[in-house]
């Protein structure tokens, strides 16, 4: 079975979507570790104690020390794929390079629009008719790696950042599961994704 490690800082609904997909047989993989920069993050409660790793990233004088420990802990669980699912800290180049090509991130915007934070408010301020979420490969530049798949929703009259975030999140869960299904079945690499459509195999360059 393919091994998935998850990095997360908060609630963990995207991790839960992966756990649910594994539990009911839609995703053939194991979650082998959940890693957090916040020891009190609710996401950690979603897995057994043995799968939890956390350090208070803010307590390190040097961010590189924190990321070396994180990287060693990640490497120790030998993940095939590492998924950033609400990991709210910018990853340093050394960590990204160490796992390059097998590290994915889910981001709440239609990239390349709105890299970084407050994506929902920024989409509303810009008057966008559509908004959504993207899953992409992690590269050293923030939220700039190749996009694998996106979910799109209309912005509705009366939307505020909270309502928009809620509707985007509903679409994030199946999006993330779909991308991990491709990943664990060997149809995804940093140059593109190979998807079977009507019995034909298509290679879609990213």
Q: Residue numbers of the site for ligand GAR (CB under 6 A)?
A: 8, 10-14, 43, 85-86, 88, 106-108, 133, 169, 172
Nearest distance in Å: CB 41, ligand GAR: 8
Q: Is 107 a catalytic residue?
A: yes
Tokens of 86: 């609400």
149 by DSSP, 3-state: which? Answer: strand
Nearest distance in Å: CB 159, ligand GAR: 15
Asked if residue 88 belongs to a known ligand binding site, the reply is yes
Residue 112 or 186 with smaller CB distance to ligand GAR: 112
Nearest distance in Å: CB 31, ligand GAR: 13
Asked if residue 82 belongs to a known ligand binding site, the reply is no
Query: Could you tell me the CA-to-CA distances from 10 to 23, 24, 186 in Å, in that order?
Result: 22, 24, 29
Asked if residue 105 belongs to a known ligand binding site, the reply is yes
Asked if residue 189 belongs to a known ligand binding site, the reply is no
**Which residues have C-beta within 8 Å of that of residue 158, sequence separation ≥ 6?**
none
Q: CA geometry: angle at 28 spanning 196 and 74, to 5°?
A: 110
Among 107, 120, 131, 136, the active-site one is 107
Asked if residue 118 belongs to a known ligand binding site, the reply is no
Residue 67 or 172 with smaller CB distance to ligand GAR: 172
Residue nearest to ligand GAR (CB): 86
Q: CA-CA distance, 9 to 7, in Å (whole number)?
A: 7
Nearest distance in Å: CB 108, ligand GAR: 4
Measuring CA to CA, which residue among 199, 200, 1, 7 is closest to residue 103? 7
Residue 88 or 124 with smaller CB distance to ligand GAR: 88
Residue 64 or 90 with smaller CB distance to ligand GAR: 90
DSSP state of 91: P
Query: Could you tell me the CA-to-CA distances from 45 to 71, 75, 113, 116, 193 in Å, in that order?
Result: 21, 22, 33, 26, 33
**Tokens 């350090």 belong to residue:** 55
Question: Which residues are marked as active site?
Answer: 107
**Binding-site residues from annotation:** 12-14, 63, 88-91, 105
């Amino acid at each position: 079975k393919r091994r998935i490690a998850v990095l997360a800082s908060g609630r963990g609904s995207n991790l839960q979507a992966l756990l649910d997909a594994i539990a009911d047989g839609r995703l053939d993989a194991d979650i082998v570790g959940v890693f957090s920069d916040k020891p009190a993050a609710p996401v950690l409660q979603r897995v057994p104690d043995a799968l939890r790793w956390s350090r208070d990233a803010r307590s390190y004088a040097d961010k590189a020390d924190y990321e070396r420990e994180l990287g060693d802990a990640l490497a120790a669980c030998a993940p095939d794929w590492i998924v950033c699912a609400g990991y709210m800290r910018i990853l340093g180049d050394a960590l990204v390079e160490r796992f390059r090509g097998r590290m994915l991130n889910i981001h709440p915007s239609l990239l390349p629009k709105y890299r970084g934070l407050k994506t929902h408010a920024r989409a509303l301020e810009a008057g966008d008719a559509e908004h959504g979420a993207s899953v992409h490969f992690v590269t050293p530049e923030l939220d700039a790696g190749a996009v694998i798949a996106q979910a799109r929703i209309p912005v509705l009259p009366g939307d505020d950042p909270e309502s928009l975030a809620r509707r985007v999140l509903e679409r994030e869960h199946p999006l993330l599961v779909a991308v991990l299904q491709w990943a664990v079945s060997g149809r995804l690499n940093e140059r593109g994704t190979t998807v079977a459509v009507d019995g034909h195999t298509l290679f879609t360059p990213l």
